[in-house]
Every structure is written in C-alpha cells, then in structure tokens.
C-alpha cells in the first residue's frame, strides 16, 4: 500500500482550520488536523511544499518510521509549525491504520481504560454574578467540571471573557485586537470569584481556572495559596514555562494543582516539569505536540511522576483533533481530564464526527479510525479569512503575554 496524494484543505467554517487528507492507492484515506491559531498558512505551506513531496510512494503502515523521518530527517527539530505539520501526518496515518484494521483507534492504542472521558466546559462572564450564571448553565447541561473566568473591575476586556457564550472564540478577523492587563487588579479579584462560586454551588463540581501565562512565579504562588480553600481541580498556565525551573517557586508555596502545556510542542518542553513533579497535569494535545505517536511518549513519561493528562481542546483544535484526542483519552492510563469547547454547528457540519456528550463525559464512537471526516465541498464554500488572537498590554502600554 502506498500514499498517492496529500491534500491540504484550508477553510473557515466560522473559524480557520487546516486539514490534511492522506490518500492511499487502495482508496483508504486518513484525516489529520494541522491548525495553528493565527499562523495557519505557515503550517499549510510546510505540509504542501516540504512534507507532501516526501510522503508520496511511502507505506502508510510505517507510522513510526515516517514520524522519525519527518522529525530527525529535517535537521531542524521541534517548533510549533514543524510539530503541528508532523502531528497532522501522524494523526492521518493512525486513522488509516485503524480503518484498515476495522477498529476504532482506541482499540489499536490498547483498548478502553474507562467508560467515558470527563470534560470541562468554559463559563465566563463580565463580572462575578454573570460568571456564576454561566456556571449554572454548564451544571444544567450535565458538566462535572467547569472552568471559570471573569471580567476584572477596572479593565475594559479580559482574556477568557467572550462575546458569544457557548461558542467562545478568541481569534478575531482582521489584525490583532489589543487588550489591557493589570496583574494587581486580577490577583485582587479572582479569589472573590471562587469564594462566590463555592458559596453558591458547593464543592460537588470541579472548578478550574486559566491564568494564561500572565503571572511571575511568586505571583502565581500568591494566587495558588489564596485559592486553596476553594479546592480547584487546577490552576492553568500560571506562568510562562520557557524556564521550567520557575515552577519550583510556585510549588514551594501552594498545594493548588498546576496544569501547563497547551503551547508545548515536544516532550522537551515538559521534561523538567514532569521529572521534578512541578506540575500535576500536562496540557499538550494531539495536534500541537507531534500527533498520537509523540503525545503517547509524553504521557508515558508523565505517568512515572504522577502527572496526568489534560489535553487542550479549545475551538482552534478542529474536530479531527478532538476525535483523535478522545480515543487517546479513553486509552491513556494516566488520564486526568479533557477540555471541551464546543464548535459551532457549521464547524461540526464541515467535520462530520461520531463522538457524543452525555452526563459530563465525551465518548468516541466505534467507527473504524478516529471517526472524524471532512466535507470538502462544504469546506470549499468557506474560504480562509485572516484572523489573529489578540495581544495584551499593561496599563502603561508595555507589551505583555497574551
């Protein structure tokens, strides 16, 4: 069996997605997500111009060899563009292998370790009362775990607080929007949010929070300590993790569980964090961390150090990533939780899939492969539109982390 065609499909059914379709001479094909939010066309070109020609004629069964060929062979290792492109190829190859085996992907990985995948949804509001209303909606929908974000008094807009509630989309058309940030105002306000939520809803549901890389280690330590009474499931991306040792400082001061890694693209980004047990959850997911092949390696390392998985699952991860991640989640022994931001009905239509939500759990279907396809005709009706994530400045104009 040979790979005879590599199609790169760029579309915008309410947001941009890059999808790879690998086609074999026997007609079986595989789908992989290659979306890198705000930098989509760089990955599309990497796949089209540099990877595609090297795949033609190869045996799609050699998943490991192709992964090593693309990673080691390129000389230039790691990086979000490269690893997202490799991930798309890898996901499509696992899809093909599972289709040929006539099995849902989780069976090839080692079978089910659980009945369903616990997911968390996003409740966000302009103020505390509004966020509490949103939390109530997620509880009514059956969620067991909810991430809560809230507008900060004195700041005109805040990360995680959206215009559209159920279909939260941070990327905007045009050029990057500019937000304003004050760590002092944020640190003062967030403990009040969780105090209110626990007071109102009790301790039955898991609550999570994302600081989106905006604190220093000592500020994160202060926040983690202040949030201890509210028993968070995790505090996410407290600090930029370029310097992994920075997490030691947070750990010295707080027992609030820590999650990080949605922007990681390889095991090397997380090695020290995992080996020193500086985190509790690793957020890497299929598409930005080198596919099923590499994510499995990260999860295996994590399992040695009591670190559990918490795959990124925002709207910029296409249903093809969500599908593949759910098969991975159903199998992975050290599973923690899966993020689930719902896609719009149009996105769901462009990417037909068989996963389903009930009682706070997502479950992949039993179709052979990862269960996600792309409707190319419908995709063609929604061409790429330039869109960026916002940027963030301090009140005095200094450029800050988004």
Contact residues for ligand CS2, defined by CB under 6 A: 37, 170, 210, 212, 262, 312, 314, 316, 339, 389
Q: What are phi and psi of 310, to 5 degrees?
A: -155, 70
Q: Are 124 and 148 in contact (CB under 8 A)?
A: yes
Helix (H, G, I), strand (E, B) or coil at 24: strand
Choices 19-27, 72-80, 183-191, 260-268 (CB under 5 A): range interacting with Mg ion:
260-268
Q: Considering the rule CB under 5 A, would residue 219 count as an interface residue with Mg ion?
A: no
Give the Cα separation of 217 and 371 in Å (integer): 41
Name the residue nearer to Mg ion (CB basis): 95 or 262: 262
Taking CB atoms, the residue at the shortest distance from ligand CS2 is 314
Binding to Mg ion in span 226-255, by CB under 5 A: none
Q: Give Cα 16 distance to the centre of its chain.
A: 15
Give the Cα separation of 238 and 236 in Å (integer): 6
Closest separation between CB of residue 318 and Mg ion, Å?
Answer: 17
The 8-class DSSP code of residue 164 comes to S
Closest separation between CB of residue 159 and Mg ion, Å?
Answer: 9
Which of Mg ion, ligand CS2, none sits in contact with 170, Cβ below 5 to 8 A by type? ligand CS2
Q: Are 281 and 336 in contact (CB under 8 A)?
A: yes
212 catalytic per annotation: yes
Length of the chain (residues): 402
Which of ligand CS2, Mg ion, none sits in contact with 125, Cβ below 5 to 8 A by type? none
Give the Cα separation of 11 and 41 in Å (integer): 11
Which of Mg ion, ligand CS2, none sits in contact with 205, Cβ below 5 to 8 A by type? none
Choices 96-104, 135-143, 204-212, 363-371 (CB under 5 A): range interacting with Mg ion:
204-212
Q: Are 120 and 361 in contact (CB under 8 A)?
A: no
> From the list 14, 210, 219, 316, which residue makes contact with Mg ion (rule: CB under 5 A)?
210
Choices 37-45, 256-264, 287-295, 376-384 (CB under 5 A): range interacting with Mg ion:
256-264
Closest separation between CB of residue 392 and ligand CS2, Å?
Answer: 11
The 3-state DSSP composition of the chain as helix, strand, coil percent (nearest 5) reads: 40, 20, 40
Name the residue nearer to ligand CS2 (CB basis): 180 or 341: 341
Name the residue nearer to ligand CS2 (CB basis): 10 or 109: 10
Which residue out of 205, 212, 213, 288 is catalytically annotated? Answer: 212
Helix (H, G, I), strand (E, B) or coil at 273: helix
Q: Are 369 and 100 in contact (CB under 8 A)?
A: no
Q: Which two tokens stand for residue 248?
A: 């030691």
Closest separation between CB of residue 69 and Mg ion, Å?
Answer: 32
Which of Mg ion, ligand CS2, none sits in contact with 257, Cβ below 5 to 8 A by type? none
Closest CA to 297 of 98, 86, 114, 20: 86
Taking CB atoms, the residue at the shortest distance from Mg ion is 210
Which of Mg ion, ligand CS2, none sits in contact with 370, Cβ below 5 to 8 A by type? none
Name the residue nearer to Mg ion (CB basis): 95 or 237: 237
188 catalytic per annotation: no
Closest separation between CB of residue 179 and ligand CS2, Å?
Answer: 12
Radius of gyration of the chain, Cα coordinates, nearest whole angstrom:
20
Name the residue nearer to ligand CS2 (CB basis): 15 or 382: 15
Q: Considering the rule CB under 5 A, would residue 339 count as an interface residue with Mg ion?
A: no
Which of ligand CS2, Mg ion, none sits in contact with 339, Cβ below 5 to 8 A by type? ligand CS2
Closest CA to 253 of 290, 226, 288: 226
Name the residue nearer to ligand CS2 (CB basis): 212 or 294: 212
Give the Cα separation of 290 and 80 in Å (integer): 9
Which residue out of 29, 143, 159, 168 is catalytically annotated? Answer: 159
Give the Cα separation of 18 and 16 in Å (integer): 7
Choices 132-140, 142-150, 205-213, 361-369 (CB under 5 A): range interacting with Mg ion:
205-213
Closest CA to 224 of 252, 197, 255, 198: 255
Torsion of CA 156, 139, 169, 296, to 10 degrees: 120
Which of ligand CS2, Mg ion, none sits in contact with 37, Cβ below 5 to 8 A by type? ligand CS2
The residues annotated with a catalytic role in the active site are 159, 212
Interacting residues with Mg ion (CB under 5 A): 210, 262
């Amino acid at each position: 069996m040979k790979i005879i065609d590599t199609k790169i499909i760029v579309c915008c059914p309410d947001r941009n997605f890059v999808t790879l379709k690998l086609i074999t001479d026997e007609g079986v094909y595989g789908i992989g997500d290659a979306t890198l939010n705000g930098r989509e066309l760089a990955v599309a070109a990497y796949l089209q111009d540099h990877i595609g020609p090297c795949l033609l004629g190869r045996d799609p069964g050699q998943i490991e060899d192709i992964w090593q060929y693309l990673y080691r062979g390129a000389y230039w290792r790691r990086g979000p563009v490269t690893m997202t492109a490799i991930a798309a190829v890898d996901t499509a190859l696992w899809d093909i292998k599972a289709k040929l085996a006539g099995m849902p992907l989780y069976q090839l990985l080692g079978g089910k370790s659980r009945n369903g995948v616990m997911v968390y949804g996003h409740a966000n509001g302009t103020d505390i009362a509004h966020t509490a209303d949103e939390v109530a909606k997620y509880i009514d929908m059956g969620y067991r775990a909810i991430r809560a974000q809230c507008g900060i008094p004195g700041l005109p807009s805040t990360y995680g607080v959206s215009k559209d509630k159920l279909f939260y989309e941070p990327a905007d058309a045009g050029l990057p929007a500019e937000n304003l940030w004050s760590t002092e105002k944020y640190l003062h306000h967030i403990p009040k949010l969780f105090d209110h939520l626990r007071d109102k809803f009790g301790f039955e549901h898991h609550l999570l929070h994302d600081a989106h890389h905006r604190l220093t280690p000592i500020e994160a330590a202060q926040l983690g300590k202040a949030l201890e009474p509210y028993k968070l499931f995790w505090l996410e991306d407290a600090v930029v993790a370029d310097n992994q040792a920075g997490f030691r400082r947070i750990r010295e001061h707080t027992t609030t569980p820590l999650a990080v890694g949605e922007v990681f693209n390889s095991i090397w980004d997380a090695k020290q964090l995992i080996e020193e047990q500086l985190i509790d959850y690793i957020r890497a997911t299929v598409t930005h961390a080198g596919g099923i092949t590499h994510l499995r390696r990260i999860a295996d390392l994590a399992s040695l150090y009591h670190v559990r998985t918490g795959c990124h699952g925002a709207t910029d991860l296409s249903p093809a990533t969500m599908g593949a991640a759910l098969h991975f989640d159903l199998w992975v022994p050290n599973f923690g939780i899966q993020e689930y931001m719902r896609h719009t009905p149009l996105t769901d239509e462009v990417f037909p899939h068989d996963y389903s939500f009930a009682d706070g759990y997502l479950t992949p279907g039993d179709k052979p492969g990862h269960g996600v396809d792309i409707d190319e005709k419908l995709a063609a009706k929604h061409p790429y539109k330039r869109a960026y994530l916002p940027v963030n400045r301090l009140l005095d104009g200094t450029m800050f982390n988004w």
